[in-house]
Chain A
Amino acid sequence: MNEEEVIRDILAGNVNRYEEIVKEYQTIVANLCFKIGGAGIDIAEMTQQVFVELYMALPRFQFKSKLSTFIYRLTVNVVCKEIKHLSRWVTPSEDIIAPEVPSDDYNAEQQIIRNEQARQLHQALGRLHPEQRTALVLYTFNDFSYNDIADVMQCSTAKVESLIFRARKNLKKMLNP
């Protein structure tokens, strides 16, 4: 998909082409919402909101950065706003949705152990400071560089480095008490 051509077409009035952008990015946006917002938010609702806000923000897109960066920044903003509204980052309850990690590399027992680890990790992620969690999630997301993360979070690269360092340290402390 030639993103610039699609966006110019949408801005010219061909709204139907927006479907292409939604199809391309909806899974990525849902995953990002899930990792940053946790199970305390309605992921489908949040993803929908991100794409409606993205549509309204398209005229402001200047083609200077990648569309993906623009979308991630918007997603982070929308999720953070929602979490602030709900006054919680995540519900670290026992019935939290365990993220499935389907893989042929593990046998059934290993898969169960990994899923349990993933569930614990998700809970621990929810206890991190919002900024630390966002930085760490973005770091592990699509191989973002520190500069990309700084761009999305609109802060300095040094701050991103510090946030990721502290997030990893805190996570390890929570997972290996």
Chain B
Amino acid sequence: MNDTDLIQQLRDMRYPTSIDVVAPVMEQVRNKPLLVPTHHTVNFRRVASTVAACLLLAVGTNITLLYTHNYDESKISNMIAEVYNYNASYADMNEASFGLGAIESLY
């Protein structure tokens, strides 16, 4: 069998039985609701900034609550250190103390 004949034979090859799957397919799909997506574009920058704002608000609220109800400078410093992802440097801690001073001045 040469190359052309091989390709032709492959082209001619057919499933030998006639097929009709319309009825069983339709029976199945009628019971399946389609989830058609709506075409809203997601503005990832807006989503990210909203998430960041919520996070800051949550941290701020926690610090304020700590200050007003149970003032403990070390706890607040730790919390701020956590916000810095456990990598608070000496400078960061200074900044945190400065931040605490600012909070204190509000009250």
Roughly how many angstroms separate A122 CA and B10 CA in the complex, as a whole number? 8
Roughly how many angstroms separate A122 CA and B12 CA in the complex, as a whole number? 11
Interface set of B (CB-CB < 8 Å, partner A):
1, 3, 6-7, 9-22, 24-26, 28-30, 32, 34-37
- Indicate whether A172 sits within 8 Å of B32 (C-beta atoms), given known contacts A43-B15, A48-B25, A51-B21: no
Q: Is the CB of B3 within 8 A of A168?
A: yes
Contact of A23 (CB < 8 Å), options: B13, B14, B22, B28: B22
Main secondary structure on chain A at its contact with chain B?
helix
Known interface pairs A56-B34, A59-B37, A117-B9; 18 further A-B residue pairs with C-beta atoms within 8 A, sorted by A's residue number: A18-B25, A30-B15, A30-B19, A31-B14, A35-B13, A43-B15, A52-B28, A52-B29, A101-B9, A101-B12, A101-B14, A103-B12, A114-B9, A121-B9, A141-B11, A168-B3, A172-B6, A176-B1
Interface set of A (CB-CB < 8 Å, partner B):
10-11, 15-16, 18-19, 22-23, 26-27, 30-31, 33-35, 43-44, 47-48, 51-52, 55-56, 58-59, 97-101, 103, 114, 117-118, 121-122, 125, 136-137, 139-141, 168, 171-172, 175-176
6 CB contacts below 8 A, A to B, read A22-B25, A44-B21, A103-B12, A117-B9, A118-B12, A176-B1
Residue of A nearest to B20 (CB): A26
Q: Is the CB of B19 within 8 A of A27?
A: yes
Q: Is the CB of B29 within 8 A of A15?
A: yes
Q: Is the CB of A175 within 8 A of B6?
A: yes
The 10 A-B pairs of least Cβ separation, nearest first, read A34-B15, A140-B10, A51-B25, A30-B19, A55-B29, A48-B21, A101-B12, A59-B36, A99-B13, A30-B15
